[in-house]
Amino acid sequence: MQYDLIVIGSGPGGYVAAIRASQLGLKTAIVERDELGGVCLNWGCIPTKSLLKSAQVFEYLTHASDYGISIEGNAKPDFKAMVERSRGVADGMSKGVQYLLKKNKIEVIQGTGKLTKDKKVEVTDSKDKKSVYEAKHVLLATGARSRQLPNLPQDGEKVIGYRKALTLEKQPKSMVVVGSGAIGSEFAYFYNTIGTKVTLVEYLDNIVPLEDEEVSKQLGRSFKKAGIDVKVSSEVTSVDTSGKSVKVNIKNKKGKEETVEAEIVLSAVGITPNIENIGLEEAGVEVENGRIKVDEYYQTSVKGVYAIGDIVPGQALAHVASAEGILCVEKIAGHHPEPINYNNIPGCTYTNPEVASVGFTEKAAKEAGYELKIGKFPFSASGKASAAGHKEGFVKLIFDAKYGELLGAHLIGANVTEMIAELVTARKLETTGHEIIKAVHPHPTMSEAIMEAAAAAYDEVIHI
């Protein structure tokens, strides 16, 4: 069968691209070797948020007295039930993707897809039967997997990746989490909250090291206050899995070494793009630094072959892959979409407190040569935050002093992952600080802190 577009991979990049292509009148098929929805929906974004919600509810119960509520007996986490709930949420979302693909008349081809020399798509099913499909355009959206370090090999039992961390049969009594990006920090928060003794190891000087330094330091303080043993400027040099527990050898930048024993080690040191065995060499698709080279519309070095998501340069985030997929197929369909501004991509970490950011950090803005106006507003001065019992954190806004342009926004606190979209939109519309100040925000809300932070940058703040 001849298609206009075949998409290989049904994650948040692939399935979204396929649906948009169908909306634009392209006859589309999608190839998937595992569950529809990809890693994000089945083994990443969605099930982790389910576990984190369980942890949050447990936190509320254990602090019920802070809200004037008395609970008979002690609340206890049911780890197995939490995991089962998260799997149920993921399964429901996967069925939702299946419905959307059917609704949009997209053919789902089950199997492992691979480019051939003549730009066709060869699909091998579960019985090793091979079928060849033709399309005018082929979009690669094969995603990524947990990165493995030579000194931290994953055995799936004592040293695990994020996928296994979602489906452990029993709650470990102790855990060492290596890497404090979004994945590592979220799992550290989850397991610590439900009673696992957690040690978090980060090679760089602060946890969540891509965030603004003030935010990173605040989350570090919050984690330590919650009982997480945070070790920054440290690296895991080796692990010994020969005994009942895992012995983790850790060395800090001063050369001091220590050994931490734990039931399980979670390696959360990033991801590796899935670019092997998908026919790149056969088709002549160019790769650079482990990722597929593309132009601003995701065309590879081979005409008619495109790539999006974790396998191309840029932030490895679900919403980035979705945006890239939509833009790519709109270009294929003859539209004239605007290329993505990768400096206006929001990042979110769903710990407690949450972290959300967009644009330049203070350090990056200074290095870029901007003269800055910076405004901060603490949630301790927010009426809504006080009423909700979430006074931890702040909003930090960075403006260009010359023109008032919003260069960056950095938030840490309750529900800030829901608040960041306002600031992404503001930057997209080239909104100035004064316009944010004069945009009336509802009271009492957490989002008032955005207006107040903007006002603080211009010495107009009222409530601090």
Query: So which residues are the catalytic ones?
Result: 443
What is the distance between the alpha carbons of residues 122 and 31, in angstroms, rounded to a whole number? 10
> Annotated binding residue at 183?
yes
**Residues facing residue 396 across a β-bridge:** 376, 410
> Annotated binding residue at 325?
no
- Angle between helix 416-428 and 448-457 (nearest 10): 50
Contact 192, 226 (CB under 8 A): yes
Considering all CA atoms of the chain, what is the largest pairwise distance in Å, rounded to the nearest integer?
69
> Annotated binding residue at 180?
yes
> Annotated binding residue at 207?
no
**ω before 353 within 30° of 0 (cis)?**
yes
Neighbours of 330 (CB within 10 A): 19
Q: How far is CA 308 from CA 105, 162, 322, 331, in A?
A: 22, 22, 9, 13
What is the distance between the alpha carbons of residues 279 and 284, in angstroms, rounded to a whole number? 8
> Annotated binding residue at 96?
no
> Annotated binding residue at 111?
no
Contact 187, 171 (CB under 8 A): no
> Annotated binding residue at 185?
yes
What is the distance between the alpha carbons of residues 411 and 143, in angstroms, rounded to a whole number? 28
> Annotated binding residue at 182?
yes
Q: How far is CA 100 from CA 15, 19, 23, 283, in A?
A: 9, 8, 12, 31
What is the distance between the alpha carbons of residues 361 and 101, in angstroms, rounded to a whole number? 39
Sign of the dihedral through C-alpha 32, 37, 41, 42 = negative
Tokens of 98: 């299946």
> Annotated binding residue at 143?
no
**3-class SS of residue 182:** helix
DSSP class per residue in 396-417: EEEEETTT-BEEEEEEEETTHH
> Annotated binding residue at 212?
no
> Annotated binding residue at 270?
yes
* Pairing between β-strand 291-292 and β-strand 246-252 as defined by DSSP bridges: unpaired
Cα atoms in the 13 Å half-sphere on the side-chain side of 159: 23
**Residues facing residue 199 across a β-bridge:** 176, 229
Q: Which residues define the annotated binding site?
A: 49, 113, 179-186, 202, 270, 310
Q: Which residues define the annotated binding site for NAD(+)?
A: 179-186, 202, 270
Q: Which residues define the annotated binding site for FAD?
A: 49, 113, 310
